[in-house]
Structure 1
Amino acid sequence: MQNRFTFALCLEHMSKEDKNNGAEIADVLLIGAGIMSATLGLILKELEPNLHIEIYERLDVAAAESSDAWNNAGTGHSAFCELNYTPEKADGTIETHKAIQIAENFEISKQFWAYLLEKNLLSNPETFINEIPHISFVWGEKNVSFLEKRYQALQKCNLFEAMQFTTNPDQIAAWMPLVMNGRPADEKVAATKMDLGTDVNFGSLTRDMFNYLKDTSNVSLNFNHEVRKLKKNSDGNWEVKVKNRSTGEKKKRTAKFVFIGAGGGSLPLLEKADIPEGNGFGGFPVSGQWLRCTNIEIIAKHHAKVYGKAAVGAPPMSVPHLDTRMINGKQALLFGPYAGFSTKFLKSGSYLDLPKSIKLDNIRPMLSAGIQNLDLTKYLIDQVRQSPEDRLEALKEYLPTAELKDWELEYAGQRVQVIKRKPSGGGILEFGTEVVSAADGSIAALLGASPGASTAVSIMLDLLERCFPDKLESNAWQHKIKEMLPTYGKYLAEDNDLLKATRSRTSKILKIETE
């Protein structure tokens, strides 16, 4: 059994120089300048202020891919309104485990952001988080029944205690007048509402986090730099080959720990790392588009995130929603996303990304998953073939009086859904995130998408448990983590007084207090 990587080893050799270019070996090398790398970098820097951290991003700005506000399908996932997190089981009951977990994890994220503000590592919460009600809306007898059962099931958990439910059209119209305007008077409708909902601009948050991080000691942020190869050396460190995309210059860097947080680009890099734990993983790319409202009057009349039920065969990122967002200080209104298929793994990627990702160890799982998800493939093809009129008809289900002249098409980001190898050798398509780490903890990669950014802090805590177990158990790290996350090790869903106190504190700091 290999010795697990620990920061004790890391700090022991901080003075050692990289024999390739005379530069100090990096303690931590982060690939990708998105919300995941920003979160991990800040957590580690708070835990170990002397760490030497290097960040490499292939584009010229941070958060330009999946973390960007225009590319992110769900900004502020807290499971309040996303119906795909509460599926109806065969016996008619509602599964709430995932929704509770996501809601709990979002509270952890809010605690971390509140800590950053209290310590003046971030300055203005209004640049990245704003109070926006979260509403689930359905129509038709079957869906109304589902929503009521969902509401009753979630009421058993204190995290959702403040949720309101109604089948009264007048009440729903008060919550979202544009959605009810022009709708048949005899149509059966239902909605739930959580005033605790928020809109999070992860692009803005990520850039703010990196702006602080890059100005701290022993941290370098390198844009227009693409990681081309990764190889583990005999001494346990990682040799990373990097190319400057602006000048063409190539260099080698050595790091004791590598995190691959490159969104859709993580899978190819994991394959290049060639660790046994990465064998059998594949990826299924899904693209997206929005209809963006251009009419200022319409934008001003809608103030909510309204989520509905996904079409049969649709991936989670394609759950339709009429979504109020705050982008660059202005209110925006989006509808979608409309899913599509592209062989690119990144919005700025190559059409060869998918074929290049197919290897001997993952070809069977990928073929197996593809056969099992033919409905999804058909759905994506149908979405790609949609005309502007088709997209308008989908919008009218949520905004009956919508006119095409008030909306324009906006291209969203790329997602790569995880394909995992089953013990039988086949594969399964998973809609979530997956941390893949080496046995010795020297490298880790994040694959997948939703809920992603909203639960970034919890995902990084999982990574710390995998990759730095000894340091995580130390008194110093335990004390600091509890300072950053006061409820660390406790469950808000099991302690109503703690939940109320925590929400009250974080809401005040984040300036998202409800009236």
Structure 2
Amino acid sequence: MIVTNSAKLQSNHSTNDTTNLVDVVLIGSGIMSATLGTYLQILEPDWTIYMYENLANFAEESSNSFNNAGTGHAAFCEMNYTPLNKNGEIDISAAISVNESFEISRQFWAYLVKNKRLNHPPSFINNVPHISFVWGNENISFLRKRFYALHNSTLFSGMELSEDPKQISQWAPLIMDGRDTLQKVAATRMIMGTDVNFGEITKQLVTSLQRKPNFYLHLNNKVVNIKKNLDTTWTICCTEENNYFFKTTIRSRYVFIGCGGASLRLLQKSGIDEVNGYAGFPVGGKFLVTHNPNIISYHQAKVYGKASVGTPPISVPHLDTRVIDGKLMLFFGPFATVSSKFLKNGSWLDLFQSLTCRNMLPILHVGKNNINLVKYLISQLIMTDEDRLKALREYYPQARLKDWMLIKAGMRVQIIKKDDKQGGILQFGTKIISTKDGTLSSLLGASPGASTAADIMLEILGIMFKTYITSETWQKKLKEIIPSYGKDLNGNLQLTNKIRSYTCDLLKLNYVEAK
């Protein structure tokens, strides 16, 4: 067992003995737990916080640089956030919500840089233009509608639209060189887009948390059970790696489960009613990656396409410039994989162990109602190297297979939820599950996850710590951490420019004034 800032715990099952009572337990060491822990350490510096991680190091699952898309989801280029409604009009509500959330994350990181909890911003965030790229009359019409719908929003001021191949070639030459000159194309660009290394942010946050004497990181510790006590505290039972029979227990006033796909099973073990009817559908991903400097230097952008008809949002293809550990790389994908694991380092039994009499019916209904998804996954599983090269050439016409290598990314467990009308529905996004008293909370789902971590954790603070968050002390500190706290940026030009100027200055990003 690896424990930092702590002696080995003594076993204690009594709810009357307060020897091992701590304030907060964080399960998982990814971006979500690290963000919540950082908030709490700032707001309540005297609280004792324990973090448990199953692996030998932190930030190795969904937050890891190679397991996370790293786009810095701001809805600048992701067209799935702006669907057509029944009237044929673009619905921008999701795009506004995602962008507002990402601006909160940027404010949070800026505050942490200012207070030396995060160091050297270029190590985790860099300007990379966000481009939406389409071809064909129908898709061009959609992109044009999307542009004009977003252009009226304060948050998307500065977005450019072009249907001129020469202009698009200047923005992203790689996607235009060698393309059929008769093919109609269109693109939008936001030059204030970013690439974010969430693995690096997480590592720096946990390292910062460790500097305080009342934070304890327990690596190689797997949480195997969670039970609520009569006094409203929670008992958490852990085992050490390769030593399942040696168990330790700890009691906590509050518990946050932020361990990606593994969260579902722990919620089920906790016995809370709120998780009944929920199931998980694990989908993995693979990416083509090139380290060839001649190719990378020719493409400085994140180019997102449009998902094919009948395919899920997770299938949206993108050709991404990434900055990982100071090195430029180019990613293309994703290519979906199917597994019964809920984590990249999980067990093949994860899916089967999560099945209950209450979630089997929703799973069957989702399978029945999502035939296109099933077909899509099958088509992905039988793809050859030549098939993947063909997909890449739609975005990089002159691509050669020898310049690219296929890597395995992380697992994403999509939410399946019981539904009275449809029996069960598949949800794409992030869902908060909490007990009525708020003493235990967790997250289920995936994208845009990491990009909106600071905002999601603000919501968690409001759910778990209701009596604290309304206090004058917390309100004052939260407004210091998030200058726009409690206010919307969209529609407020002056505030948007003030906030973006502030965050760009501290995060060393290019500032683009909204007009």
Residues 351-403 of structure 1: CA deviation (Å, up to 9, x unaligned): 11111111011111111122111210110111011000000000000000000
Q: AA paired with 1:27? A: D
Mapped pair 1:300 → 2:297: yes
**Quick one: which of 102, 107, 119 aligns to 1:106?**
102
Mapped pair 1:76 → 2:65: no
**Quick one: which of 431, 440, 443 aligns to 1:443?**
440
Q: Distance in 2 between matches of 1:220 and 1:139?
A: 53
Q: How does 1:25-104 map onto structure 2 within 5 Å?
A: 25-104=21-100
Q: Distance in 1 between matches of 2:141 and 2:38?
A: 45
Note if contact 1:293-1:332 (Cα within 8 Å) is conserved in structure 2. Answer: yes
Q: Residue in 2 aligned with 1:362?
A: 359
Q: Distance in 2 between matches of 1:132 and 1:446?
A: 29
Note if contact 2:291-2:328 (Cα within 8 Å) is conserved in structure 1. Answer: no
Indicate the SS of the match to 1:240. strand
Q: Residue in 2 aligned with 1:287?
A: 284
Q: Distance in 2 between matches of 1:390 and 1:458?
A: 39
**May I ask how many residue pairs the two structures share in their alignment?**
499
Q: Residue in 2 aligned with 1:254?
A: 251
TM-score by length of structure 1 reads 0.95
Indicate the SS of the match to 1:255. strand
CA separation of 1:448 and 1:373: change in aligned 2, threshold 3 A: same
Q: Distance in 2 between matches of 1:318 and 1:58?
A: 30
Over the matched positions of the two proteins, sequence identity in percent amounts to 51
Give the unaligned 5+ runs of structure 2: 1-10
Q: AA paired with 1:359? A: T
Note if contact 1:287-1:413 (Cα within 8 Å) is conserved in structure 2. Answer: yes
Q: AA paired with 1:172? A: I
Q: Distance in 2 between matches of 1:320 and 1:379?
A: 14
Q: How does 1:404-443 map onto structure 2 within 5 Å?
A: 404-424=401-421, 426-443=423-440
Structure 1 residue 125: Cα displacement: 0.8
Q: Residue in 1 aligned with 2:5?
A: none
Structure 1 residue 218: Cα displacement: 0.6
Q: Distance in 1 between matches of 2:375 and 2:433?
A: 30
Give the unaligned 5+ runs of structure 1: 1-16
Q: Distance in 1 between matches of 2:276 and 2:464?
A: 19
Q: Distance in 2 between matches of 1:424 and 1:176?
A: 46
Q: Residue in 2 aligned with 1:14?
A: none
Q: Residue in 1 aligned with 2:195?
A: 199
Q: Distance in 1 between matches of 2:273 and 2:242?
A: 34
**Quick one: which of 141, 147, 158 aligns to 1:145?**
141
Q: Distance in 2 between matches of 1:388 and 1:233?
A: 54
Q: Distance in 2 between matches of 1:74 and 1:430?
A: 21
Mapped pair 1:131 → 2:127: yes
Q: AA paired with 2:413? A: V
**Quick one: which of 226, 235, 238 aligns to 1:239?**
235
Q: Residue in 1 aligned with 2:389?
A: 392
Residues 8-51 of structure 1: CA deviation (Å, up to 9, x unaligned): xxxxxxxxx96669853111000000000000000011110001
TM-score by length of structure 2 reads 0.95
Structure 1 residue 494: Cα displacement: 2.4
Note if contact 2:253-2:439 (Cα within 8 Å) is conserved in structure 1. Answer: yes
**Quick one: which of 155, 158, 162 aligns to 2:158?**
162
CA separation of 1:425 and 1:133: change in aligned 2, threshold 3 A: closer
Structure 1 residue 467: Cα displacement: 1.5
Note if contact 2:71-2:302 (Cα within 8 Å) is conserved in structure 1. Answer: no
Q: Distance in 2 between matches of 1:425 and 1:174?
A: 48
Structure 1 residue 105: Cα displacement: 0.6
**Quick one: which of 151, 170, 188 aligns to 2:184?**
188
